[in-house]
Structure 1
Amino acid sequence: MTFGGLPTRWEPPGASRGVALVAPGRSYPPTAPLLDFTRVALLQHGFTVQQIWWDSLTRGEEEPEAWVRRHVAAAHAREDADRVLVVGKSLGTLAAPYAAERGLDAIWLTPLLTDPSVAEAVGANAGRQLLVGGLADALWDASVARELEEGGCQVLAVPDADHGMGTRGAVRTAEIHLEVARAVEAFLAGAAAGAGA
């Protein structure tokens, strides 16, 4: 499968132990750094990666949450896997209610924690979840993140990171992306340990 000539599905080198559905941001495609590093980590940990590509300008009058849910549900319906993990970035984190209803593990990059439907869904999800955000992001609510962490979510909150998990400095932005990659790696390593228990 391809989108604009780019591959959208990636298989791990060995047997797949599950499928990760990647829901991007409004202007942040699956090939952008945070999601691409996450793709590499998922493959390393034995997940098949199915990227969801969309053009948010085609949404029309459909509500954003319903629009994201429709795309994620369609991608999920095509999978025949016992284990499904959802990765969402910004707009893609509107898939949180869908994931919560099914108890799916999830990685939420810059989740829209100021949106009550996202925050409540993350809090209600029985699956393992990682939340990544920056304190310089107006869409990240630090108090909500703390509550979710107390409720069992793993949280990486970077003080100087904005909604793109960056700053005005190139080196510091690269350092932040490395922090995110390490958090994703630790989360997936923990998931593997839990699955083996």
Structure 2
Amino acid sequence: MPDPVRFTVPTRFDGDRDRVAVVVPGVGYSPARPLLHFARSILLQHGWTVQELWWQIPERFSQFSVDDRIDWVERQVTEAVDAEAGACRLLIGKSLGSLACGIAADRSIPATWLTPVLTIDHVTAALQRATEPTLLIGGGADKLWDSQVARSLGHEFLEVPSADHGLELADDAGGSVEILRQVVSRLDRFIGSLGR
């Protein structure tokens, strides 16, 4: 049974209070890590208010079933979205955060999923239901990314050949920086396309 204790700690960066983006981390990928850090920077440049979730994964999380993990993530994200009283107009999630893609689909919230876990049926089913603009970004060497599934969903997507689950290249710092530049550029275009 999942731990009932609330682990989410939101951090806010103010912009337009009617346009809030909620940034959802991965298991060990906090909002301070490059992909989410630069996502926040882009959002702020476009005038959004950003709410970052900083969570501590429960000690027994590795023993949770997939359904329990989904429930835990959805509770954290639902609470963050509800706290915005209708102003949440974008979700950006990394890996584990993509377990909340059902919330984006069911509430008609645009979303960007960085390295979504496309090997979990719940994630792919929610992405199939999503009707709002959705951007998927994954790496060709990521075992949790499925190129065929990504293509079949009908959403905008970017696949970075040879990139791992962190959207980096093993033993190639310069190449990893170029990937980050590519991802940041695509995020900027996507966020800019959402307008006001």
Please confirm whether the aligned pair reaches a TM-score higher than 0.5, indicating the same fold.
yes
Q: Answer yes or no: is 1:132 the counterpart of 2:126.
A: no
User: What is the CA–CA distance in structure 2 between the aligned matches of 1:189 and 1:76, rounded to whole Å?
Assistant: 21
Offset from partner CA, 1:72-99 (integer Å, 9 cap, x none): 0111121134442111100000001111
Classify the secondary structure of the residue corresponding to 1:123.
Answer: helix
Classify the secondary structure of the residue corresponding to 1:8.
Answer: strand
Q: Answer yes or no: is 1:22 the counterpart of 2:20.
A: no
Give the drift of 1:37. Answer: 0.4
Alignment of 1:5-84 (within 5 A): 8-12=11-15, 15-58=16-59, 60=61, 61=64, 63-84=68-89
One-letter amino acid of the structure 1 residue matched with residue 91 of structure 2: V
Offset from partner CA, 1:114-142 (integer Å, 9 cap, x none): 11110110111111101000010000000
Task: Select which of 92, 100, 109 maps to 1:95.
Answer: 100
List, as ranges, runs of 4+ consecutive aligned residues in structure 1 with deviation greater than 4 Å.
58-62
Offset from partner CA, 1:53-87 (integer Å, 9 cap, x none): 11113465571100000000111121134442111
Whether contact under 8 Å (1:26, 1:56) holds in the other structure is: yes
Relative to its length, the structure with more strand (as a share) is 2
Unaligned runs of 5+ in 1: none
Percent identity over the alignment? 43
- Name the Cα RMSD after superposition: 1.8
One-letter amino acid of the structure 1 residue matched with residue 45 of structure 2: Q
Aligned length: 184
Q: Answer yes or no: is 1:180 the counterpart of 2:183.
A: yes
Q: Answer yes or no: is 1:145 the counterpart of 2:165.
A: no
Question: Which residue of the partner structure matches residue 4 of structure 2?
Answer: none
User: What is the CA–CA distance in structure 1 between the aligned matches of 2:54 and 2:127, rounded to whole Å?
Assistant: 23
User: What is the TM-score normalised by the length of structure 1?
Assistant: 0.88
Question: Which residue of the partner structure matches residue 156 of structure 1?
Answer: 158
